[in-house]
Amino acid sequence: MDELLSKCWLIKNAFNIDVQVVDPQLQTIVHISDDSEPYIFIESRKKMYVEVQKAVEEANQYSFCFHTDSFQLSYLAVGLYEDGQFQGIFLAGPFLNERVTDQLIWNVLKKNHLENSWLKPIEKFYKSLPYLGQSYLAIGDLIVNLLVNPRVASQFITTKKGNEHYQPDVQPQNYDMNGFEVKLRYEAEKKFLHFIELGDKENAMKALIDFTGDFSYRVPGNPLRAKKNLSFSSNTMNRLAAAKGGVEPQYLHAISEKFALKIEAAVTMAELDTLSFNMVDEYCEAVKNFAVKGHSKVVRKALMYIHLNFQEPINLQRIADEIEFNRSYLAQKFKEEMNIGLIDYLHQKRINEAVFLMEQGRLSITDIGLQVGFSSYNYFCKIFKEVKGMTATDFIKAVHK
């Protein structure tokens, strides 16, 4: 039991995955978890025990079972044997094989007949889970080998040169740039950040290629980590440039946090390349669409509140309360500076988001309406026709014909 517990902790710490061991009667004997899991998922997992136990007992002794439930939560299960006798199941999970998106969460709600009030708790929990992608196959193989073989305690040593810790010499000369090359690089970087500040996506994309270099030597032997570090720096620079372009800090924080999580979760260099272009796209769009230079404080605060909370059941009074301004004054200043009423602006924002979801073709009209903040299907369809001049059904037909 001590050796099994030691292996469970190894797997938990190595892959940041919760682990559980159940006996042949499906009673839990080991459970190592961060204890942040909503009760609904615990109950769902208990229901799959019988199915998983049957699968591992019928399979080869050194097999592992991959299971994904109706909540899109995945698990790896391995049968535990002693002298050829089945002793229980080792379970690693939950983890995700799909990126956390609004579509994923709404599909989970719909498939499991959950109320919309589950949206935020599920999103928060899913974002705390490890994303494994296709690496779950290699991890499953490692778990089988670790559980089958006796664990050997490793020892940590360092080599020393005299009284100093010895570190291999890194030969930087191959990566040195002369003064002229350094100047060119930083000029290209300056130009790139200027285009971000202006929201000029086309030129920012071109400039990105000019100043992106190979800095893998900064983390010898781990080019993926080197590129991740560079991506984190780019995310910060892009955020600061967009801030100079007039985008409010709270909106930029949401973008920056999203990309920081995606960068850390990336498992290939190609993913990081794609994220670099996605960052340019989103920060430029933020400057182009959400920059609020020249507006009064009340309008700036209202715009940011709408863009961050349009999916919630908000109205003029709630916005006024949240940003701490008089309702009548807010309505007057917004119409005066934006040349559109606040509620009409909110409707346009919601409909534009709905159009994006319709183009993806993954959700029903009812689900899209609820996801972008409308209280009912009929109200969504009414506003959609007012804004777009056609029904939501006709729009979808035109997009996907």
Could you identify the residue written with the tokens 């570090």? 229
pLDDT (tens digit per residue) in 162-178: 444 444 444 444 444 45
Residue of 63, 28, 69, 73 whose CA lies nearest to 47: 69
Q: What is the pLDDT of residue 170?
A: 41
Question: Is residue 238 over pLDDT 60?
Answer: yes
Q: Which one-letter DSSP state was computed for residue 375?
A: S
Q: Mean of the pLDDT values across residues 269-287?
A: 84
Q: Mean of the pLDDT values across residues 72-88?
A: 84
371 in Cβ contact with 364 (< 8 Å): no
Domains of the chain, CATH where assigned: 2-148 (3.30.450), 180-290 (no CATH), 310-400 (1.10.10.60)
Average pLDDT, the chain: 79
Rg, Å, the chain Cα set:
26
pLDDT (tens digit per residue) in 16-75: 888 888 888 888 788 887 666 777 777 777 778 888 888 888 777 777 888 888 888 888
Collapsing DSSP to helix, strand or coil, 17 comes out as coil
- Least confident range from 238-242, 290-294, 313-317: namely 290-294
pLDDT (tens digit per residue) in 313-370: 899 999 999 888 999 999 999 999 888 999 999 999 899 888 878 876 778 899 899 9
Question: Is residue 259 over pLDDT 70?
Answer: yes
36: number of CA atoms within 13 Å, CB side?
Answer: 14
- Least confident range from 11-25, 135-149, 257-271: namely 135-149
- pTM (2 d.p.): 0.40
97 in Cβ contact with 132 (< 8 Å): yes
Q: Provide the phi-psi class of 133: left if phi over 0, else alpha when psi is between -120 and 50, else beta.
A: left
Q: Which one-letter DSSP state was computed for residue 97?
A: S
Q: What is the pLDDT of residue 175?
A: 43
Higher per-residue confidence, 15 vs 195: 195
Q: How far is the CA of 57 from the CAs of 20, 52, 87, 195, 259, in angstroms?
A: 17, 9, 10, 60, 42
Listed ranges 106-120, 157-171, 210-224, 379-393; the one with the highest mean pLDDT: 379-393
Residue 217 pLDDT class (50, 70, 90 cuts): very low
Residue 214 pLDDT class (50, 70, 90 cuts): low
Q: What is the pLDDT of residue 327?
A: 92
Q: Please give the Cα distance from 112 to 304 (Å, whole number).
A: 33
Q: Mean of the pLDDT values across residues 129-149?
A: 77
Q: Mean of the pLDDT values across residues 104-132?
A: 83
Beta-ladder partners of 65: 77
Q: Which two tokens stand for residue 235?
A: 């995310």
